[in-house]
């Protein structure tokens, strides 16, 4: 039995059981705050805490403007929650940025190799077309830096999705979101950012071609060079 201050865990455990048994599915509406409080004999404040936790973990979305009391819809959007958690743990300095970058490198290069032998599907074609559009948009020197970084992150996450592993894609997306602040700081320290941006774009074109032509090892090597070069800029004198 949880202590009084942890009564919210009964709601979380109840939901996990219902999900596992299939009684509650994505898109379903959870019972309202009052109903849950009565059912479990706990305070509405405890129910609200549980709903907040589900909200920040990307597991529910409130259905109307009147707060979680009005019934929350079950969703599954894990990457934002994982990204926030990773970012906070990086902020505590428990997780070094270097290790995040190395992990990203490992997952991206491995995905590149696997993507080369993935089946030809409409999803693959759509992702490659979208990646090509992002690269084309980034070719425009008048694209503001903030949008360049956002496009860049999306480009990499799209490519890593081509291997077809949703967990890798989720982790990649979280790592990218967790390191965006670091990328912006790195860029702010650079003397010659416009030149660096042009080099990054040349690399993006090469990476995209290797993915399009299913040259897995080339794609992995180009990604390794691209990521190592950019993160090496900050350490350089």
Residues contributing to the site for a second copy (CB under 8 A): 5, 8, 15-16, 19-20, 25-26, 45, 48-49, 52-53, 56-59, 62, 67-68, 74, 76, 78, 81-82, 84-89, 91-96, 99-100, 102-103, 106-107, 110, 165-168, 170-171, 175, 181
Q: Distance of alpha carbon 161 from its chain centroid, rounded?
A: 11
Minimum distance of a second copy from residue 100's CB (angstroms) = 5
CA distance between the termini of the chain: 57
With beta carbons less than 8 A apart as the criterion, state whether 89 and 51 touch.
Answer: no
Least distance in Å: CB of 94 to a second copy? 3
61: helix, strand or coil: strand
- CA 17 to chain centroid: 26
Q: Which two tokens stand for residue 222?
A: 């180009």
Kindly tell me the burial class for residue 20, based on how many C-beta atoms sit within 10 Å of its own C-beta (0-12, 13-18, 19 or more).
exposed
3-class secondary structure per residue, 105-132:
HHHHHHHHHHHCCCCCCHHHHHHHHHHH
Q: Which is nearer to a second copy, 103 or 201 (CB)?
A: 103
Q: Which is nearer to a second copy, 135 or 174 (CB)?
A: 174
Residues in contact with 19: Cβ distance below 8 Å, sequence separation at least 6, in sequence order: 25, 74
How far apart CA 142 and CA 144 sit, in angstroms, is 6
Residues in the chain: 237
Decide whether 18 or 209 has the Cβ nearer to a second copy: 18
Query: In the complex, what is the shortest distance from the CB of residue 204 to a second copy, in angstroms, rounded to a whole number?
Result: 24
C-beta of 174 vs 204, nearer to a second copy: 174
Which is nearer to a second copy, 134 or 157 (by Cβ)?
157
Could you tell me the smallest distance in angstroms from the CB atom of residue 205 to a second copy? Answer: 27
134 vs 230, beta carbon nearer a second copy: 230
Q: For a second copy, give the closer residue by CB, 87 or 176.
A: 87
Alpha-carbon gap, residue 147 to 120, rounded angstroms? 30
Rounded to a whole number of angstroms, the minimum distance from the CB of residue 33 to a second copy is 12
Q: CB of 157: closest distance to a second copy in angstroms?
A: 15
Residue 201 Cβ, how far from a second copy at the closest point, in Å? 28
Cα 73–Cα 66–Cα 88 angle in degrees, nearest 5: 65
């Amino acid at each position: 039995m949880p202590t009084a201050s942890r009564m919210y865990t009964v709601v979380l455990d109840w939901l996990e059981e219902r999900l596992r048994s299939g009684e509650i599915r994505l898109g379903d509406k959870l019972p309202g705050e009052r109903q849950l409080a009565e059912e479990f004999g706990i305070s509405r404040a405890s129910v609200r805490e549980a709903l907040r936790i589900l909200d920040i973990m990307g597991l529910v979305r409130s259905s109307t403007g009147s707060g979680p009391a009005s019934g929350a819809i079950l969703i599954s959007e894990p990457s934002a929650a994982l990204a926030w958690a990773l970012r906070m743990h990086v902020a505590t300095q428990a997780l070094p940025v270097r290790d995040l970058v190395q992990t990203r490198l490992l997952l991206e290069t491995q995905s590149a190799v696997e993507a080369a032998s993935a089946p030809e599907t409409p999803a693959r074609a759509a992702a490659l077309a979208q990646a090509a559009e992002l690269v084309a948009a980034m070719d425009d020197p008048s694209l503001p830096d903030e949008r360049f970084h956002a496009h860049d992150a999306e480009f990499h996450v799209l490519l890593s999705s081509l291997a077809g592993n949703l967990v890798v894609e989720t982790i990649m997306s979280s790592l990218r979101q967790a390191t965006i602040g670091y990328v912006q700081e790195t860029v702010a320290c650079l003397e010659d950012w416009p030149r660096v941006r042009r080099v990054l774009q040349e690399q993006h074109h090469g990476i995209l071609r290797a993915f399009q032509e299913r040259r897995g090892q080339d794609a992995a090597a180009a990604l390794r060079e691209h990521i190592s070069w950019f993160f090496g800029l900050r350490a350089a004198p």
